[in-house]
Chain A
């Protein structure tokens, strides 16, 4: 069994279904997709070889596949523009035989980066704006095809506050999709007072119009599955009915509500998969949701109360402006992965001592899974019997899938995985200017301190170039003009983004060793074919929430 320790979140058994189909198209390495530089290929190859020799064949299949699908390069040739100075580079490396290089032009780069960007501004009523959130920018850049990240944002209509979240799926996007659609409803319902729940239940009972619970802020690409909505609604209704029956009478604690909602949703996902559905499409859907997985990082902002609930290795970070104007970052979540000692400790205490060595291998849970907490992933939650029963009774597609049939090694005392979040509560202060929620695709490439600085400077419109002062120097108008034109060209990249998240992605993907966006690098990274992109970067999803310091200050002074 070859298990790839590459950047993929979850190791996938090699015998993928498309392998035999494509092996005939395996080309010689030099004729690989022309966009990949030879040196890069050697890099990829060497990484892969390092992991496992058998893997080479799997890799080749990727390449073959890539070549096969992108062979008609004419389609792309029109898109790429030759860049002269690149010839020097080629020449220096003595790659004279390499065919012409093509680069994406800046507008092409922008259209890729901006394809998924979304901004929302909380409506402002001239100073009487009582929301501590000014608005948010979000964006995502796919590396997987299709992308496995999801994002959600909504305003609670029956309670105060705003919900924002990023979800990083693995082993497919089904689970992340389901969580992104459903989790906020579970949270909103958990937050609702008893009377409102009763009102909603009565409305459903008598077929009246429902009170709207959430106002979604969605990019057109963020879809909801229509087919499953009935099923999801019924599960949600069962949940609020139970809440009504439980009626503790206490006011709802946000932290508790978040934890309950997370756990409940994961439980529902698991149950739906066990029960199945008479509709074969839905049946397959719920199984895919349960067998894939997703991490979630959700923020709930209400006035100065900021709660971040995190499950998995996405991260929430607060951007704080110090008194001297500089930016610093405060973590508002803990990663649940092998790097977090507390988390490793938790997993170990939950299982017998005999398993201690097999629990975490190669920094992965049971040697397979990178996040230590996640939604779905019933392979790490159900007993072996249950898994077998469900898979066998399930549709054929599921039965044929190697991944679902495969039982993790050393699987003795399930569950190994939980969706229970860690919740951090933070009281917002006027110096807290923004919150960044992002999947690990961002944090792998950038340090949080850099993220805080880049977003902070973007939002305040300050670019890090030193201002020019003439002082006593002898400068002519012409010299000054030349200097200014040059500087403007440099900072133009800042201004071509209208979205803080896009700006951050530009840096995450295109930063060179000096922390500046390098167009060549950006262009190369974005023109990687689908199958290769995942080798260099992960899906990146970012939400940047901007706070209204005036409102927060007013809250602090007790004015609101």
Chain B
């Protein structure tokens, strides 16, 4: 009865290793057919066969790591992945998330061609509605950060909204943001396609195998204990989704993965009398806390209520979690806002209210990276109900992290190390996720965690006394020799009217001679200068290849700068040194040694 509809499984690949498992599946209930025995050892064991687990396996295989075993306690893509609404949305305020979503979108688009598994990929676009001016400004800020990432998007008027979607009531709207590249997928099938591709590259997939704990020796992963035996391994990847927390605590050396599951509801309806077109854009109504997408001619609509229902997964198996009750009373506020947004739906018949557990983290960012306490123990979980949007990209970065030692992008805001043990208290998590979830759909930059000043680089002088060594010396010397790729720069907004114009609130794109060179990381109004001052990293991209080049003092000084605040560009003057130094000694430029440390 549960969403077989969404997971239209037709994926049995041609791979012999996997087929035997598949046979066991098809003869469900007949226990006599023996599953393939587990290997005694592997380089990597991944726990979890959802979108994140399969994506990590897929990307590890792509990067050449083939000795990988993926374990799934039930069936592939049977957890949250199967239930989720399948919306791939790139409209994310944090740039790393935006990049992950963008990559995921591109990956899913070509996945059907690559694997032959139907992924149901449809490019529908998405429309985020604004009922208030404040919301519109917030959307404009996201739009300007999307634009610099090369994702097409535009701010449109309510009338244009009506043209894009026939059912929307536009009377209370002030505008909207349209992202034409956003897509819909059959989430379970995407996961199965990734699994199929991974399996073809040599990844072994074992279903109905649950991990009881991870063995650790001398602070390093040595193996994995499962209900079907032991596997020796060097790396373990915890992609257990809502069970990740428990799994992290199951071993002798606990790994804190602060996430907590909440019930999440969405509604499915029968088709409309005039079925919705296949490519009608997905609607996100942050003020009404809902999203609405086309689903087989009817609609699928869910949202993030003000009073989330946390869920305890301890000791509960997958089946129990999947038979969660529909709670209409809980859904009532969301249904009201759906009918307000689309009044013509009143006569539409209900098919089902789906209760799908989702896991949330204390800061609404997913969790990835290596455990600070156990080497070789990697984690990718806590997708905050955006597993499909992030899954592809997150899997890629984690795979890079494992293979190369560091990912190709700065994933610091998502690193597991940002949490301490305090955040992994159940009581804290339970209360925190209730706060987080109600803010989820309203998220904009105002809620983002401040970027940690990981990269100090204003200006520092280092003397290297002979024969003395210190931590990081090598990196500094290397930097001294090669120069820096990112320069921390101060900008003074020139034609910005503090009383009338929107204020920078960090994350605004910086343009040099009309080209994007970075984003602001902080800003404030300076009473002395009577101007807004922004701080940010400036990078130098090769105009043709996009490759990062060394940032020189001249590069900074010889340029016209603009800062884009919610779509409006303001002229800015770049300063490499704090103002105090202007009044201090005349320090000559050529004496300056660049020593901003940067390495991601």
Contacts and interface: CB of A to CB of B under 8 A. Distances in A.
Interface in A451-503: 465, 467-470, 474-478, 480-481, 484-485, 487-488, 491
Contact of B350 (A127, A465, A470, A487): A470
B497 to A, nearest CB: 45
A477 B427 contact: no
Contacts of B327: 467
B373 interface: no
B345 A477 contact: yes
A488 B332 contact: yes
Contacts of A40: none
Contacts of B425: 126-127
Contact of B347 (A126, A467, A476, A487): A476
A488 B345 CA distance: 21
Interface in B464-519: none
A286 B291 CA distance: 70
Contacts of B336: 481, 485
A481 B427 contact: no
Interface string B126-166: 00000000000000000000000000000000000000000
A345 interface: no
A127 B424 CA distance: 12
Contact of B426 (A127, A467, A475, A481): A127
Query: For the side of the interface on B, what is the size category?
Result: 20 to 34
A489 B338 CA distance: 19
A480 B339 CA distance: 11
B328 A468 contact: yes
B352 interface: yes
B352 A478 contact: no
Nearest to B326: A469
A475 B427 contact: no
B350 A480 contact: yes
A124 interface: yes
Contact of A476 (B329, B349, B427): B349
Contacts of B338: 477
Interface string B256-275: 00000000000101000000
Contact of A487 (B325, B329, B346, B427): B329
Nearest to A491: B329
Given A470-B352, A470-B353, A478 B347 contact: yes
Contacts of A124: 427
Given A126-B425, A127-B425, A470-B326, A477 B346 contact: yes
Contact of B332 (A470, A478, A484): A484
B329 A468 contact: yes
B193 interface: no
Contacts of A467: 325-329
A124 B427 CA distance: 10
Query: For the side of the interface on A, what is the size category?
Result: 20 to 34
Interface in A100-131: 124, 126-127
Contacts of B426: 127
A199 B548 CA distance: 76
A475 B347 contact: no
Given A126-B427, A127-B426, A477 B339 contact: yes
B289 to A, nearest CB: 16
A500 to B, nearest CB: 19
A377 to B, nearest CB: 48
The dominant DSSP class at the B interface is helix
Contacts of A487: 329, 332
A471 to B, nearest CB: 10
B339 A478 contact: yes
A524 B470 CA distance: 82
A488 B331 CA distance: 11
A484 B328 contact: yes
Given A124-B427, A127-B426, A127-B427, A480 B348 contact: no
B462 interface: no
A352 B267 CA distance: 77
Contacts of A488: 329, 332
B335 A476 contact: no
B339 A476 contact: no
A551 to B, nearest CB: 13
Contacts of A474: 349
B403 to A, nearest CB: 39
B428 interface: yes
A554 to B, nearest CB: 15
Contacts of A484: 328-329, 331-332, 335
Contacts of A485: 332, 336
A491 to B, nearest CB: 8
Contacts of A469: 325-326
A487 B328 CA distance: 10
A477 B339 CA distance: 8
A508 B537 CA distance: 66
Contacts of A468: 326, 328-329
Nearest to A475: B350
Contacts of B339: 477-478, 481
Contacts of A470: 326, 328, 350, 352-353
Interface in A239-275: none
A485 B269 CA distance: 20
A475 B349 contact: yes
A312 to B, nearest CB: 40
A485 B339 CA distance: 13
B348 A476 contact: yes
Nearest to B339: A481
Nearest to A480: B350
Nearest to A468: B328
A37 B336 CA distance: 41
Contacts of B326: 467-470
Nearest to B351: A470
A427 B426 CA distance: 28
A256 B329 CA distance: 51
A478 B425 CA distance: 42
A123 B350 CA distance: 46
A124 B426 CA distance: 13
Contacts of B349: 474-477
B520 to A, nearest CB: 37
Contacts of B329: 465, 467-468, 484, 487-488, 491
B347 A480 contact: no
A481 B335 contact: yes
A474 B269 CA distance: 11
Interface in A193-223: none
B354 to A, nearest CB: 11
A477 B350 contact: yes
A477 to B, nearest CB: 5
B332 A476 contact: no
Contacts of B346: 476-478, 481
Most buried by B among A467, A469, A477, A485: A477
Given A470-B350, A474-B349, A480 B335 contact: yes
Nearest to A485: B332
B348 A477 contact: yes
Contact of A477 (B325, B335, B352, B428): B335
Contacts of B269: 477
A124 B431 CA distance: 13
A45 B476 CA distance: 98
21 contacts: A124-B427, A126-B425, A126-B428, A127-B425, A127-B426, A127-B427, A465-B329, A468-B329, A469-B325, A470-B326, A475-B349, A476-B348, A476-B349, A477-B267, A477-B338, A478-B347, A480-B335, A484-B329, A484-B332, A485-B332, A487-B329
Interface of B: 267, 269, 325-329, 331-332, 335-336, 338-339, 345-350, 352-353, 425-428
Given A467-B328, A487-B329, 16 more contacts: A126-B427, A126-B428, A127-B426, A465-B329, A470-B326, A475-B350, A476-B346, A477-B267, A477-B339, A477-B346, A478-B346, A478-B347, A481-B332, A484-B332, A487-B332, A488-B329
**Nearest 9 pairs between A and B by C-beta?**
A478-B346, A484-B332, A468-B328, A475-B350, A477-B348, A476-B347, A477-B345, A126-B425, A126-B427
